[in-house]
């Protein structure tokens, strides 16, 4: 079965750029999405179709996808961005989620 691999944790200083990766076989041939989940809350879509932002998502969130890796980039990271982030793709008629990355803003 298809797997998406994320680093368990990423740390970033306020105002700096955070990058969270998601790896999977030929992931660049698929579309990747990203979700933000804060404690006790439902996930929120922050990036879809590799690099598109839903309305209401700040411009500091961006995405890319090439080769075997999709990347979520948060520019000028703010304390409010501290959360768990999950990537998602589709393979063989199945939705697959990555294991999640906890972003800590130090």
Partner 1 sequence: QVQLQESGPGLVKPSGTLSLTCAVSGGSISSSNWWSWVRQPPGKGLEWIGEIYHSGSTNYNPSLKSRVTISVDKSKNQFSLKLSSVTAADTAVYYCATSTSSGHQARFDPWGQGTLVTVSS
Contact 7, 100 (CB under 8 A): no
d(CA 6, CA 99): 6
Q: Does 43 bind partner 1 (CB under 8 A)?
A: yes
Q: Does 31 bind partner 1 (CB under 8 A)?
A: yes
Q: Does 2 bind partner 1 (CB under 8 A)?
A: no
Q: Does 65 bind partner 1 (CB under 8 A)?
A: no
State the minimum distance, in angstroms, from the CB of residue 93 to partner 1.
5
Integer-rounded Cα radius of gyration of the chain: 13
d(CA 22, CA 5): 5
Q: Of the candidates 7, 23, 51, 96, which one interacts with partner 1 according to CB under 8 A?
A: 96
Provide the sign of the torsion angle of the four alpha carbons 99, 71, 92, 41, taken in this order: positive
Q: Which residue has the tokens 């063989």?
A: 92
State the minimum distance, in angstroms, from the CB of residue 19 to partner 1.
20
Binding site residues, partner 1, CB under 8 A: 1, 30-31, 33, 35, 42-45, 48-49, 54, 86, 88-90, 93-100
């Amino acid at each position: 079965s298809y797997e998406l691999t994320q680093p368990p944790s990423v740390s970033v200083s306020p105002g700096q750029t955070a990058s969270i990766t998601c790896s999977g076989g030929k992931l660049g041939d698929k579309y990747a999405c990203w979700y933000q989940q804060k404690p006790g809350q439902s996930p929120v879509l922050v990036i879809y179709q590799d690099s598109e932002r839903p309305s209401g998502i700040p411009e500091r969130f961006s995405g890319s996808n090439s080769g075997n890796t999709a990347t979520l980039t948060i520019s000028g990271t703010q304390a409010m961005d501290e959360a768990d982030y999950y990537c998602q793709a589709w393979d063989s008629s199945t939705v697959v989620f990555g294991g999640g990355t906890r972003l800590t803003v130090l």
